Amino acid sequence: MPAVLYIYVTNMHLPPIKYCQPYLMVATGIFSTLYCLTVPLVLILGPNWPSPILIVCGYFVPSLICVSFILSAGAVVVMFKITDLIVLHAHFSPSQVDRLSFYRRLLYPKVQVLAVVVGGVLVSMPYCVALYSFGDLTAAELLQGHGGTVLWASTCVFALLAGVGGVVLSAHMAPYMDNLGLRRTYRRSCFASSLLVLTSALISTLELTITLPLAQDYNVHNILYTLAAQYFFFFNLVVPLRDLESFQLMMRGKSLANGTMAPSQPTTSSPATACTAQLERYLRSDHGLPTFMTFCQRDFRTEELRAWQLVEQFKQRLVSAQKLLTTCLVPQCALACPTSVKWGPTYATRLESWLRCDEDIVGNEVPTTFFDEFQAALLEALCEDVWLRFQRQSLDWIDHDRRRRSLEGMDTVLRMVVKMQPAAVAVTDEPTPACVDDVLESMDDEDFVSFQS
């Protein structure tokens, strides 16, 4: 657990970890690690140790786990709501906007630390009473007396309330905003941990009413408590690290692809170029090409898209230039389309001239950028009709665009929190709702940079 916690801390600035309120998650991880490492030591090696050690490590620290977890879930909900308001222009009543303006302070890292401290002080009051009342006992005497039962019952109830609170907060995370599966992660961790706590409570109750020597001798209920803390640790820290690894592999693959596949059109600011660039980014996304291919099949307009896909394969050296030419650019080819009719003679001449060159001078391997003009022309042909109708009619595109904008919005909110000047934000002509202006004005204080989109 300490090694995982160290890796989490060193990568907390990277997606998807940075969207999980990592400062609060680190606090949850520290408390979980402390509980899982110290309680077995006290129960096995320290029966004669002073009871305050057991009270702090065995009862107070689990309460801190619950406090930091609830605060992290609440901060994620606030981040989602603010992003939904600013970026997606969702409808919020004036009272909801006022509440968001107040709760957005929970996104500050310094405020998060202060909130954990204040929450810890509040939940420590009954344990301070226990320290005063049972401070002269040993750990074994505390466990065998009524004081240990009271502390166990209060900690169990608090853990169950935290589990219910986590499920309730996860219900406020809109599915279209939850690109990272945080809603499912919170629910899984709460359900698994609550089930273990309930099982432990049942075993402890049976220990009080009837004799269970096996459970008493091996501290079964304490083992289940430790497993509950480990489940919290696994779902909220290990799973994001696993997602981070897959995200890094995906980004590394895209960077390698971008290194071998140059943009298929020049960088200009014309609307047509922006449209083709948008289409190209969507086709290179995870599910973009199959979704757009399905839409094109309804209109029997798959030739351009299949030709574009073949050019992508050529850039990865999966097909040869001659194969691409005979499939897409010669007369009466399998993927004949108006674009191939226009560019076919040009590319036939270019390829023949290239292959006739002296190998010692220029080499005979066709570069990966050889068909870029043809690929750009294919994208322009698709943007003239099919792409625009796809954006209007496809629910998949609407969901994809909403998720993309929500991620960009969360990045914007996080940049405002950490006082980083956001990158160039595209200014649109859409009117900004008045409620958005209210939240932005409340954000534009000494701790936030101004943002307007």
Profile the chain (453 residues) by mean pLDDT over runs of 10 residues. Answer: 85 80 89 88 80 86 90 88 74 79 85 91 88 82 79 86 88 76 82 84 74 63 81 82 66 45 46 78 80 81 85 86 86 84 86 70 71 88 83 80 76 69 37 45 43 37
pLDDT at residue 163 in the model = 87
What interhelical angle do 395-417 and 61-86 show, nearest 10? Answer: 120
SS3 50: strand
Q: How far apart are alpha carbons 408 and 41 in whole angstroms?
A: 46
Query: Which two tokens mark 161?
Result: 């309330």
**Would you state the pLDDT for residue 117?**
92
Under 8 Å between Cβ of 177 and 83? yes
Distance CA 182, CA 316 (A): 35
pLDDT at 424: 36
The beta strands (E) that lie in 12-68 are given as: none
CB within 8 Å of 203: residues ≥ 6 apart = 212, 215, 220, 221, 224
**Distance between CA 92 and CA 97 in Å, rounded?**
6
- pLDDT score of 118: 92
| Beta partners for residue 138, in sequence order | 50
Give the model's pLDDT for residue 247: 62
> Domain segments of the chain: what residues?
2-255, 271-384
Q: What are phi and psi of 314, to 5 degrees?
A: -65, -40
DSSP state of 18: G
Backbone angles phi, psi at 304, to 5 degrees: -60, -40
Tell me if residue 138 falls in helix, strand or coil.
strand
Return the residue matching tokens 């996304």: 285
**pLDDT tens-digit readout, 234-250:** 888 888 887 776 665 55
Q: Tens of pLDDT along 40-80? A: 888 787 778 888 888 888 889 989 998 998 999 899 888 88
Q: Please give the pLDDT value at position 71.
A: 92
* Token pair in block for residue 178: 């939850």
Question: CA of 331: how far to CAs of 75, 336, 432, in Å?
Answer: 61, 7, 52
Q: To 10 degrees, the CA torsion angle through 349, 355, 360, 365?
A: 110
Side chain identity at 434, as an amino acid letter? A
- The full DSSP string for 247-310 is HHHHHHHHHHHHHHS--SS-----HHHHHHHHHHHHHTSTTHHHHHHHHHHHTT--HHHHHHHH
List, as own/partner pairs, every contact residues 393-397 make where C-beta atoms lie below 8 angstroms and the sequence separation is at least 24, other chains included.
Answer: 393/295, 394/291, 394/295, 396/287, 396/291, 397/282, 397/291
Integer Cα distance of 410 and 402 in angstroms: 12
- Return the CA Rg of the chain: 30
How many residues comprise the chain? 453
The set of residues, in sequence order, having a beta carbon less than 8 Å from that of 374 and lying 6+ positions away, is 307, 311, 328, 329, 339, 340, 343, 347
For residues 378 and 308, is the Cβ–Cβ distance under 8 A?
yes
* Per-residue tokens: 102: 């107040």
> CB under 8 Å to 176, separation ≥6 — which residues?
399, 402, 403, 406
Residues 6+ apart with CB under 8 A from 229: 32, 35, 36, 62, 65, 193
User: What pLDDT score was predicted for residue 221?
Assistant: 72
**pLDDT at 452 (0 to 100):** 35
pLDDT digits (tens, 9 = 90+) for 72-109: 989 988 888 888 777 766 677 788 788 888 888 888 88
CA–CA dist 40, 222 (Å, integer): 8
Within 10 A of 382 (CB to CB), how many other CB atoms are there? 24
